[in-house]
Amino acid sequence: MTSEDPRRRIPRTDHLLAHLGVIEAGQRLSESAIRAVIREAQDAARVGSVAPDEVESLVLDRLAATSGSSLTPVLNATGIVVHTNLGRAPLSTSAAQAIADAAGYVDVEMDLGTGRRSKRGVGARQALLDACPAAEDALVVNNGAGALVLATTAFAFRREVVISRGEFVEIGAGFRLSDLMTSTGAHLREVGTTNRTHLRDYSEAVCDRTGCILKVHPSNFNVSGFTSAVPLAELRPLADEHDVPLIVDVGSGLLHADPAIPDEPSITQALEAGADLVIASGDKLLGGPQAGLILGRSEYVQRLARHPLARAVRCDKLTLAALEATLTGPEPPVKAYLHADPARLKERTERLAAAVGAPVVAHDGRVGGGGAPEVPLPGWAVRLPETVARDLRLGSPAVVARVHDGACLIDLRCIPEADDEPLAAAISQSVQRRGSGRPSGLADDRIQVSAEEGLT
């Protein structure tokens, strides 16, 4: 290398590490992560990709854009309220603050008054019972699948789970509840047919080998036409006769009936109809963190709590804190988005459309997450060229829209109003980068989100 070689001007690592901006980045990133960014910038200069005098600014820019997590916050413009690919329920401000407060040392298993060990999750349990008076007791585990595994193991290991063939459910990524249950050592006793199951089918199957009777709310699909199913109230006497628990997996975690989704079963309804135990997810219609909720008769809840497997599926302090804050705090975003004011939603959409020069089209959102699979959430969307969708996903802020019928659809239902202006700026920048100019008007037809799209 000669004295005139420009590579000699590449900033040294120790000089870059001493830069105030790099030192400040050390509050968020480890030294090894910072050194990796520096090496990448120096290597780029060595091969001529950037000029030596651009290395410092490149390092600062990359450090500013790097966080301690690879997860990227996004604006959900799909119109799907509980979007599994985007983390399901967004937490309320109260729940997010509770997580931050619980990040350090907290009294998760200590009575500060006595200084002795106490039970875990007391606050979250009480919050659940206060929110659902129909339950005698409650238990929180890591997720809905964990709750089902615990119940199946505790009540039906080497015994039979009596379940209707019409309630065999496969959810995202090929995950089947039947496979989950058989993995615990339980045997499935299938009754009825896919479309019709009668009380006599259950009566003929329940015997001394029965560990429990299980009803699963069909998630992600509806069976219509020549159908029949057995209501919980009719199964209650059968369960009493054979002294076996009647367990219901309602899935979505709706605490009480909601007129916006009248066919979606709630935890309270299931308990009042005769269920001994009800299993649900915490991060769907409840609007909280990922958790498995088990509510019902104290006798059975305590049996699960004492089972050795309960330790393996218990949730951490952050989940407990977020769940309690969701239940005791203000309305979580999921409920607000589900019941978004149509007039305000249309007004915001028209304002965004005017700002970016695009048409407004009618658009049906969805509940998502397996909830109310065929119930539309009528609304509107800004229709953009399909080509801007990728740029929006990779932009800042990252925007995930719905791509359908050759268009990129921006639905504001699940976007906080405070983000409308940043969203408009992101769209304008993406359209300009694509050289599309002002999008041309397109047909104002109603575009529906298919049930399958809301379930990923």
Question: Is 44 part of any domain?
Answer: yes
Picking from 408, 407, 84, the residue whose alpha carbon sits closest to that of residue 399 is 408
* pLDDT the model gives residue 79: 97
Please check the confidence at residue 173 and state whether its pLDDT lies above 70. no
Whether the CB-CB separation of 60 and 19 falls below 8 Å is answered with yes
Q: How far apart are CA 181 and CA 370, in angstroms?
A: 19
Say which residue, 433 or 153, is predicted with more confidence: 153
Please check the confidence at residue 150 and state whether its pLDDT lies above 90. yes
One-letter amino acid of 387: T
Least confident of 5-14, 136-145, 309-318, 350-359: 5-14
Least confident of 62-71, 151-160, 401-410: 62-71
Tokens of 415: 């976007």
From residue 287, give the alpha-carbon distance in Å to each of 142, 157, 182, 241, 414. Answer: 15, 32, 30, 37, 13
Mean pLDDT score of the chain? 90
Tokens of 359: 């048409």
Average pLDDT over residues 389-409: 94
Q: How far apart are CA 237 and CA 233, in angstroms?
A: 8
Please check the confidence at residue 449 and state whether its pLDDT lies above 80. no
Question: Is 69 part of any domain?
Answer: no
Say which residue, 314 or 174, is predicted with more confidence: 314
243/264 same-domain check: yes
Please check the confidence at residue 172 and state whether its pLDDT lies above 70. no
Please check the confidence at residue 63 and state whether its pLDDT lies above 60. yes
Q: How far apart are CA 425 and CA 442, in angstroms?
A: 22
pLDDT band, residue 220 (cuts 50/70/90): low
Tokens of 243: 């002294």
Average pLDDT over residues 227-247: 94
Question: Is 166 part of any domain?
Answer: yes
Question: Is 88 part of any domain?
Answer: no
pLDDT band, residue 6 (cuts 50/70/90): confident
* Domain endpoint, select from 307, 330, 353: 330
* pLDDT the model gives residue 447: 39
Instruction: State the total domains in the chain.
Output: 3
Please check the confidence at residue 451 and state whether its pLDDT lies above 70. no
Which CATH number fits the domain that encloses residue 376?
3.90.1150.110
pLDDT band, residue 438 (cuts 50/70/90): very low
Q: What is the model's pTM?
A: 0.87
Residue 140 three-state SS = strand
Please check the confidence at residue 441 and state whether its pLDDT lies above 60. no
43/137 same-domain check: no
* pLDDT the model gives residue 298: 97
Question: Is 319 part of any domain?
Answer: yes
* pLDDT the model gives residue 3: 58
pLDDT band, residue 442 (cuts 50/70/90): very low
- What are the counts of helices (DSSP H) followed by strands (DSSP E) for the chain? 18, 15
* pLDDT the model gives residue 223: 75
Phi and psi, residue 144, nearest 5°: -60, -40
Least confident of 8-17, 126-135, 285-294: 8-17
pLDDT band, residue 452 (cuts 50/70/90): very low
* Domain endpoint, select from 313, 330, 347: 330
Picking from 394, 388, 363, 389, the residue whose alpha carbon sits closest to that of residue 376 is 363
Please check the confidence at residue 444 and state whether its pLDDT lies above 60. no
* pLDDT the model gives residue 294: 98
Q: How far apart are CA 346 and CA 363, in angstroms?
A: 11
Phi and psi, residue 213, nearest 5°: -105, 130
Preceding peptide of 397 cis, ω within 30°: yes
292/201 same-domain check: yes
* pLDDT the model gives residue 322: 98
* pLDDT the model gives residue 433: 76
Average pLDDT over residues 405-432: 94
Chain-centroid distance of CA 255 in Å reads 17
Average pLDDT over residues 169-175: 72
Please check the confidence at residue 397 and state whether its pLDDT lies above 70. yes
Least confident of 67-71, 348-352, 430-434: 430-434
* pLDDT the model gives residue 218: 81
99/78 same-domain check: no
Residue 339 three-state SS = coil
232/188 same-domain check: yes
Whether the CB-CB separation of 158 and 152 falls below 8 Å is answered with no
245/352 same-domain check: no
Whether the CB-CB separation of 297 and 137 falls below 8 Å is answered with yes
226/286 same-domain check: yes
Tokens of 353: 């459309």
38/110 same-domain check: no
Average pLDDT over residues 27-48: 94
Average pLDDT over residues 188-196: 91
Residue 409 three-state SS = strand
By DSSP bridging, strand 187-191 and strand 137-141 are unpaired
297/430 same-domain check: no
* pLDDT the model gives residue 226: 80
Please check the confidence at residue 233 and state whether its pLDDT lies above 90. yes
Phi and psi, residue 142, nearest 5°: -70, -35
Residue 269 three-state SS = helix
312/350 same-domain check: no
> Can you give the residue range of the structural domain that contains 391?
74-83+336-455
Whether the CB-CB separation of 392 and 402 falls below 8 Å is answered with no
pLDDT band, residue 446 (cuts 50/70/90): very low
361/222 same-domain check: no
Please check the confidence at residue 450 and state whether its pLDDT lies above 60. no
Question: Is 57 part of any domain?
Answer: yes
* pLDDT the model gives residue 435: 66
106/154 same-domain check: yes
Which CATH number fits the domain that encloses residue 252?
3.40.640.10
From residue 231, give the alpha-carbon distance in Å to each of 26, 111, 191. Answer: 59, 44, 15
* Domain endpoint, select from 330, 347, 369: 330
